[in-house]
Structure 1
Amino acid sequence: MDTTEQLRQDRAALQLINPAPYNAEAPPEALVGEITPTALHYVRSNFPLPEHDGTLAIGGAVDNPLTLTLDDLRAMPPHEHTVTLECAGNGRLQMRPLPTGEPWGDYAVSTARWRGARLSDVLALAQPASAGVAVRFTGADHGAYHLTPVLPDIDRDDLAFERALPLGLAADPASDILIAYEMNGGPLPEDHGAPFRLVVPHWYAVASVKWLARIDVLTEEFAGEFQTGHYIFEWTDRPPEPVAIMRVRARITSPAAGAVIPAGPCTVRGKAWTGNGPIERVEVSLTGAGEWYPAQLEPPSGPYHWQEWSYEWDASAVGRHTLRVRATDAAGNIQPEQPDWNRLGYGNNAVEVIYVDVV
């Protein structure tokens, strides 16, 4: 099978948002299980699929610059984590007025098992200098940027994807940041960053740079189009903030929005996640302004991915009913009733509202 046909098959189950660069949401069934099958995992790209030479260069303010291959990374102690990744623009379509950016609905979120070398182990080999403060990650993807650049002096016609993390976070073994080369037990697919990518637990997925080509330790904070230009919360009533940790959110996975269900007992199910885990409480409301009832929340089966919840609803009354759900995390964060509007439409974690018809 040629590469084009394989790519077409890999993308067949997804909901297309933009063909170039390729962006697609997961289908609703992708949120049902604990793990999202690879073929159903959403895809977010800022540029076309790149060519990658198979090497990862580590340099900048380090005492031991080095270049690693996939075989080198596989030879290091392997680590595997199940991680929920959510696009920072997930839910943008629900904001009013509609912000600029990819028109994501509510399915730019997925959970996969990632296996790879720990970033802290790679940085330890390179020996960051004492003056280091940040680590920049450069992907092999680049090209013409389809959105208007925010920063001055940006080459819109050939821009590379670059993000940075604080050195203290990147070099900390406890952060469990991976340079991943496997996804759900198989080789990393092309759409998901082959041959290797960053996976940063708890953070919005923009931090998990795909097609990783370079790592550089910096002696000053990084300013780049995808760091301080885009992926910034530009509020109307407070100073801007960088997009970083995922905000608390709960979703209903069953019954489906707009479903027609028979009168009688109905188990409402869903997922909840946060970057400030674990989830501590999920509540369901059966009217627009009514009481909130506690759902049954399953304990976390890992530190970095969504939790399941359920609620036993007596759906005996025929007619149209609304269902609302909200989550509270370990840091005390609770979902707002309305989207927290910002100019670029990031971080929508407003309470989900659906309706079903009982017959």
Structure 2
Amino acid sequence: MGFQFSIDEGSAQTKIQQLLHAVNEAISNGVLREGDFLPSVNQLSKSSGLSRDTIFKAYRILKQRSIISSTPTKGYFVNSASFKVMMLLDDFSAFKEQLYGSFRANLPDNYVVDLLFHHYNPDVFEQLIQNSLGRYSMYVVMNIKHHRMEKVVRKIDPNKLLILDMGTPDNPDIAYLNQDFANGAVNCLEQVKDRLTCYRKFNLVFPKTTPHPSEFVNSFISFCNDNDIVCNVIEKLTEQSVQSGEAYFVIKEEDLVYIVKSAKKQQLILGKDIGMIAYNDSPLKELVGDGITVISVDFAEMGKKAAHFVESKEKLFETLPPKLILRGSL
């Protein structure tokens, strides 16, 4: 049957974006293969109702992206098969680098991945999604909110979308691969509750600016109350916050650095004078002191699973539990 295209008047996408998306999808699904010719501008204009100018603009964009080529006598044809993937992460960090490295390593060479960051900025997030529509065959997106999906994300074809890291979409057709932030972390703390009772107080360092789900605070307090552990939630660290005989659970990297520096200044030894648990593992946390105890999902596994979704198009609806890695800091 070959490539066919018709305009969806109810779509939020422009006509050019619709045509770009249709060509990318046809290549991704094998309808168009390497060397196959696209309809001529005149043919497509006649069959779809698009103006010649719109088709010329779309074909020019596809050529600029090296998806198609053209010859003066034969027309437009598909270049060597390649699949463009958009991976939109929240920010750059050591464990996100591990995630991306695993994702890229588990995709075939003919997959091109554009890695972008939104830094929890709603305007940037919306603009990046809007600009991506019709450009990619698959989308892997870390949402801004953990409890709801941003409206702009709904413009992406649900069959091409994977929500990553946090948030369960309210649309049952959208695949997700996320973390169990509240229950998973508490299950890990249960494994070291005997160690935690050795400390005078267990502090959760939870700044207002952290994107970590706020429900975790209630889970933390409930865990401490159930195990008769004196606890405290610290929004902002000060020199007085770091005390001998207390344990700390930190979410953000900069808070970990602050406590380590403050402990060193006071000549306090991690794992002896103060306890430390950090969220999300990284190679550096293996090296600080005798190692920092962490609660973390396996980001290499997350990247591998995301890559399988992108290549196979098999939807997954999975919540990864974090694991406790016990090191010398506790």
Q: TM-score interval w.r.t. the shorter chain?
A: under 0.3
Of structures 1 and 2, the larger Rg is shown by: 2
Bigger proportion of residues as strand: 1
Bigger proportion of residues as helix: 2
